[in-house]
Chains A and B, each alone.
Chain A
Amino acid sequence: MTTSAAALTTSPPANRPVVPNAVLGTLIFVVAEVMFFVGLISAFTISRAGAPAGTWPVPGQPLLPAEATALNTAALMLSGALLLAGQVLWAKKRPVARWVVLAAWVLGALFVVLQGREWSQLLSAGLTMKSSRLGAFFYLIVGTHGVHAIGALVALGLAAVQVLRGRLEGGLFFGAQVFWYFVVLMWPIIYARVYF
């Protein structure tokens, strides 16, 4: 490409990207996102530790359904594992990998639906953002995670469809996958810190 005489004689080797652009970009974004959740969760932890005895949770308000949420958690973890399997198979067995990725996506969507059902039960039982700080933190943190899950599912779905139609290179699809792993791995931390 270069035509200068000096370059032809001793052209230095090009720097090869270690990580594709889209994946690296997503990883850097994930760092900022992780710190965002660290901010939310540490604010929650500090507020709970500083609350006077008997006010967290406020007596008479519903407790967070830790057992029922175990099912949601399992669905999300399985989704992450399946996506990882799909990624391993992607290069070699594309037809199988498609179904694995689809299953991962469906399980992720199931997680979002189950979370929505949980919210409507808690809201009707009297836990709202204004009823207590526990409620405010719960809806804020879990809601933020939910918004990320929906965004990641949309991005993953669109990228997968585009890749299968041959309209997109793999980079962006892998970037969307990285973001889904972030959503999946963030959840057990939220589950352990907030529900118990």
Chain B
Amino acid sequence: MSAAAHAEHDHAHGHAHHDEGFIQKYLWSTDHKMIAMQYLFTGIAMALVGGFTVYAFRMQLAFPGMPVPGYGRVTATDYNALVTTHGSVMVFWVAMPVLIAALGNYLIPLMIGCDDMVFPRLNRLSYQLFLLSAIVLMASFYVPGGAFGGAWTSYPPLSAKAEYNLTGLGSSMWLFAVALEFAAFLLGGINFITTVMNSRAPGMKMFDVPIVVWMIIIASILFMASVGPLIAGAVMLMFDQQLGTGFFDPAKGGDPVLWQHLFWFFGHPEVYVVLLPAMGIVAEIITVFSRKKLFAYKTVLYTAIGTGVLSFFVWAHHQFIAGIDPRMANVFSVTTLLISIPVAEMVFVYIGTLYGGSIRLTTPMLWALAFIAEFLLGGVTGIFLGASGADIYFHDTYFVIAHFHYTFFPIAFIGSFAAITYWFPKMFGRMMSETWGKVHFWGTIIPFNLIFIPLFLLGARGDHRRIYDYRHFPDLMKAGMQDLRILATLALLVLLAFQVVFLVNLFHSIFRGEKAAANPWNANTLEWQAPSPPPHGNFPQGLPNVYRGPYEYSHPDRAEDYWPQTEPEAAKS
């Protein structure tokens, strides 16, 4: 980003930036693109933390009791802290900041054709709260007792009592970090929804908004509507921990299952909060790289809304063995199976878009196709768990772990890699290496399946998930079960090693990549009409007007196979 163009533009728009020192530009910026970069790189850093924790505890599971290179001996308390941190970090500090905060911040103003978010200072505050939350979480590793070890779902009474979880201060710091993080995303979500409602470019109607923007908005609404009960529960849990109240403490008459209701009322919509943006990213990419109009735009939109509404009525499927009324379990089984219909419909629509297109297998397209295939496996195995009868057997086994990793890994990683490789030319003004991108793709997808297919097999054989050392459970050490654990761990090591390829490709391309044109993929949406990378204010030639929908590829009336949203009918093509 050239500083001169930057400063010049600030004057042209009368923004209050006088001189842009390092702190003004990189740490105290209100520019939505810089805030997106802050979220993105913090998310990548947290992904390394999440990756390191899984490395340490998977090594313990495969080779119990042996010192782990780079970590040392994993004690039982360490193990609890590592799995808790892995789950919390990957959901709250990787998937949420990268998919919603980074991409939402980067894409929304560019794709709807405005110069910034409507509340830029709230946006800056949002990132600062998020950064603080990450610091609090990481600091909890260094307090007496260590980081919280009560699992990312934080069920009381385990999470409420220091004498059970052995991490008294760590558990309160975990709760505080989660609360700060939610405050950050509340501010972000308010910004996203208000911006899209009020700041769309002239001519951009509801159905001219790109699907990814819609998806981020629906996800933000889901987040807004579901997070309240969890915050209520978090305050109550914090009081139980620090003030000795008895909201969830059976010894004081409290109800521990109440926490599970409050947690999962948020927790299940949260799955769709991260899924929908990933679905949106995939929609953008498959239309561009099959040079075809998105099949059934409105169907995608309505199924996304339907998924969002249904997601509020499925939460108790996490509690089938928590002693809830079996009649209630039936209702939640039905709603859980129902929600697979709109999601399956979305997948069908995407396959319909691919059908008959002139497909170009670029790196982002490979990621997008892999997302559809892998997520489908995650969705189908979810049906076994949604049926309460089967779930009573599968509950708390590695089958559950494998199922939600087949949903979350495609969402958080495949979706993010698709987005980063696709929008990289816009973000940094340079191209990423296609060759190394494809090496990284295959080096991630193959080991990913080799990690989690063994875990499906283990789970089907009843392998319980909350065990630190399987040598103490002879039933779970029978015929080849340990071999499957070792296979999963070795595949994980390969997967982690290939992420180095990604990081090197990312940073090398940021500084040394081939210069990118404004619209390297010949795409229609508005962000590709801005220069790469867009300057402060986004559209130096003036904010764009919109004349058409975002997916008019291979239009019969036009020589080129794309038709940017800014080009009116009469303009010469």
Which A residues fall within an 8 A CB radius of B? 1-4, 6-7, 9-15, 17-19, 21, 24-25, 28-29, 31-40, 42-43, 46-47, 50-52, 55, 129-130, 133, 136-137, 140, 144
Contacts and interface: CB of A to CB of B under 8 A. Distances in A.
Contacts of B520: none
B119 interface: yes
Contacts of A28: 189-190, 193-194, 224
Given A33-B228, A35-B226, A4 B189 contact: no
Going nearest first, the 10 A-B pairs with the smallest beta carbon separation are A35-B228, A12-B203, A39-B229, A39-B232, A36-B228, A17-B198, A2-B542, A136-B245, A14-B202, A40-B232
Interface in B248-283: 252-255, 258, 261-262, 265
B16 interface: no
A2 B236 contact: no
The secondary-structure label for the interface of chain A is helix
B233 A39 contact: yes
A10 B262 CA distance: 53
Nearest to B262: A39
Contacts of B203: 12-13
B246 interface: yes
Contacts of A13: 202-203
Contacts of B254: 47, 133
A18 to B, nearest CB: 7
Interface of B: 118-119, 122, 186, 189-191, 193-194, 197-204, 224-233, 235-236, 239, 243-247, 252-255, 258, 261-262, 265, 541-547, 566-568, 570-571
Contacts of A133: 245-247, 252-254
Given A43-B247, A130-B246, 11 more contacts: A10-B547, A24-B194, A25-B118, A25-B190, A28-B190, A28-B224, A35-B225, A37-B228, A39-B230, A43-B233, A46-B261
A43 B262 contact: yes
17 contacts: A4-B541, A6-B568, A6-B570, A10-B547, A12-B203, A12-B545, A15-B202, A25-B190, A32-B186, A35-B226, A35-B227, A36-B229, A39-B232, A39-B262, A46-B261, A47-B258, A129-B245
Given A9-B568, A25-B194, A35-B228, A43 B545 contact: no
Contacts of A42: 229
A7 B567 CA distance: 9
B245 A130 contact: yes
Contacts of B235: 140, 144
Contacts of B198: 15, 17-19, 21, 24
Contacts of B544: 2
A12 B239 CA distance: 55
Contacts of A140: 235-236, 239
Contact of A39 (B122, B231, B253): B231
Chain A CB count within 10 A is highest, among B243, B247, B265, for: B247
A33 B186 CA distance: 10
A171 B382 CA distance: 46
A104 B376 CA distance: 56
Given A24-B197, A29-B186, A129-B243, A39 B228 contact: yes
Contacts of A6: 545, 566-568, 570-571
Nearest to A21: B118
Contacts of B546: 12
A190 to B, nearest CB: 13
B217 to A, nearest CB: 11
Contacts of A1: 542-543
Contacts of A21: 118-119, 194, 198
Given A32-B186, A51-B253, A15 B200 contact: yes
A29 B194 CA distance: 11
Contact of B229 (A2, A35, A52): A35
A129 B242 CA distance: 12
Contacts of A46: 255, 258, 261
Contact of B225 (A2, A9, A32): A32
Contacts of B224: 28, 31-32, 35
B246 A50 contact: no
A136 B255 CA distance: 14
Contacts of A130: 243-246
A136 B262 CA distance: 17
A22 to B, nearest CB: 9
A2 to B, nearest CB: 4
B202 A11 contact: yes
Nearest to A2: B542
Contacts of A3: 541-542
A47 B253 CA distance: 9
Nearest to A23: B194
B571 A34 contact: no
A12 B227 contact: no
Contacts of A12: 202-203, 545-547
Contacts of B200: 15
Contact of B255 (A33, A35, A47, A144): A47
Nearest to B189: A28
Contacts of B226: 35
A43 B258 contact: yes
A158 to B, nearest CB: 16
B247 to A, nearest CB: 6
Nearest to B193: A28
A48 B231 CA distance: 20
Nearest to B226: A35
A13 B227 CA distance: 37
B354 to A, nearest CB: 32
Contact of A17 (B197, B227, B244, B542): B197
Contacts of A7: 542, 545
A43 B414 CA distance: 38
B545 A2 contact: yes
Contacts of A47: 247, 254-255, 258
B490 to A, nearest CB: 44
Nearest to A1: B542
A52 B122 CA distance: 47
Contacts of B194: 21, 24-25, 28
A11 B566 CA distance: 10
Nearest to A58: B253
Contacts of B541: 3-4
Contact of B228 (A38, A50, A51): A38
A21 B568 CA distance: 30
A1 B489 CA distance: 59
